Amino acid sequence: MSTNTVNQYARDPRLIADAPGLKGVLDSYRRRLSQGELGSLPVMVGLVVIWLIFYLSNDRFLSPVNLTNLMLQISAMGTISVGLVLVLLLGEIDLSAGAVSGLAAAVMAMLSVKHQLPGVPSLLVGLGAGAAVGLFHGLWFTRMRVPTFVVTLAGQLGWQGALLYVLGDTGTVNLNDDLIVSLTGTFFSPAIAWTVTVLAIGVLTAVMLNGRRRRAKAGLPLAPWRSTLMAVGAPSAVLIAAMTVFTMDRGLPLAVVIFVGLALMLELMLRHTRFGRHTFAVGGNAEAARRAGISVPGIRTTIFMLASALAACGGILAASRLMAVNQSSGSGDVLLNAIAAAVIGGTSLFGGRGSAWSALLGALVIGSISNGMDLLALSSSVKFMVTGGVLLVAASIDALSRKGRQASGRA
């Protein structure tokens, strides 16, 4: 091994043991930041700044009622963004997510209202329609070798037409099924909310301890206990704070449980399953993944199926909140906001880096900007310009962090 290679590994923050105490923690963060390992730090700092600005401008911004409304507002868009995170991890793009969300909602609505199907079959068929669209995109991309930009751009146009065809002359379909409407109209009592909190913290603790056990069994170096405690304590504190806010208002919204639950399941899949590791491998270097025996076409097709199914889920949540589906469902800024949320949250545009939590953080940023500006009665023009500026900053940070990783030989 050459001297340069040895020095490269010597500088890798993942291979340097932390010194004990607070100094070790600070040195570790400083080392990671200097080499492009920014993680979620920029978006979290940005979110704090945004919340502080809007709170100083209008103290109702951080009220339990408004924060609960904020989470309800971002649930549909955030669910779509979770699926787009998966696509971005491959280094690809899906421009049809907005149209697919509207089409799936229209299919569900027509079956429920016009054909009088019960809520559960209508929901399942709507989700199935989204998954079928994703399967089509994935197969066309992997078999025909047409770039995903073109395939999904064609899909964005075609599925918008399919939405209009499904709705026909009706134009707008008002939902009346109790189950479908309850997806965004149900709020759980404090007892259930705190039970969910305890279970979530228990699952998080078990996952972290199991990870340490598996690393110890494999003879791999273990992170300091303080890192494990921080990895459990920080999310637990956020979860407890969120539940406190919800219980001070109407209770824990079912839509938030669906959104966060999907993000959690996808994150566990990405971090703790073979499929997740293969997804990162394909996004990092598809040719190397193929040579390692990974079914690259299979991974790509499955990811597009999951992304479109999540887009369908987001469309159904949006229809439930509006209690209707119309010809503009899934259009407007739905797609752009969902992509922006994934990028702002920290998912790399270059593939191979990101997490399902990126969708939650990014959606919080975009939703906070929109919600805060509505409270201040600012025009939509200002809202779009500010959101665009935040997206540009996030993409620039991603590019700079990639440059830092390249300089350290780890891009």
Residue 188: pLDDT band by 50, 70, 90 thresholds? very high
Taking residues 349-358, report their average pLDDT. Answer: 86
| pLDDT (average), residues 349-353 | 83
Q: Are 310 and 98 in contact (CB under 8 A)?
A: no
* CB atoms near residue 374 (< 10 Å): 14
pLDDT of residue 367: 92
Decide if 369 contacts 390 (C-beta within 8 A).
yes
317-327 pLDDT tens trace = 999 999 999 99
Beta bridge partners of 23: none
Per-residue pLDDT band for 409 (boundaries 50, 70, 90) equals low
Q: Hey, is 115 helix, strand or coil? A: coil
Q: What is the DSSP letter of 112?
A: I
Considering only 7-21, 177-191, 290-304, which range has the smallest mean pLDDT? 7-21
3-state secondary structure of 82: helix
Tokens of 199: 């279970």
Classify 331 as helix, strand or coil: coil
Give the strand pairing for 172-174 and 324-326: antiparallel
Q: Rounded CA gap, 368 and 44, in Å? A: 13
Q: What is the pLDDT of residue 53?
A: 92
Confidence tier at 96 by pLDDT (50, 70, 90): very high
Average pLDDT score over the chain: 87
pLDDT (tens digit per residue) in 243-293? 999 999 999 999 999 999 999 999 989 988 999 999 999 998 999 999 999
User: pLDDT tens, 356-389?
Assistant: 988 999 999 999 999 999 998 888 888 888 888 8
Average pLDDT over residues 342-358: 86
The reported pLDDT for the residue numbered 97 is 96
Instruction: Please name which of 81, 49, 96, 45 lies closest in space to residue 340, comparing C-alpha atoms.
Output: 81
Q: What is the pLDDT of residue 45?
A: 85
pLDDT of residue 350: 81
Q: Identify the H or E element spanning 324.
A: strand 324-326
Residues 6+ apart with CB under 8 A from 201: 232, 236, 239
pLDDT reading at 410 higher than 60: no
Across 91-116, average pLDDT: 95
Provide the 10 A C-beta neighbour count for residue 168.
11
More confidently predicted of 198 and 171: 198
Q: What is the pLDDT of residues 119-170, one digit of tens each?
A: 999 999 999 999 999 999 999 999 999 999 999 999 999 999 999 999 988 8
d(CA 315, CA 324): 11
- In the numeric block, the tokens 């405690």 are attached to 229
Longest Cα–Cα distance in the chain: 72
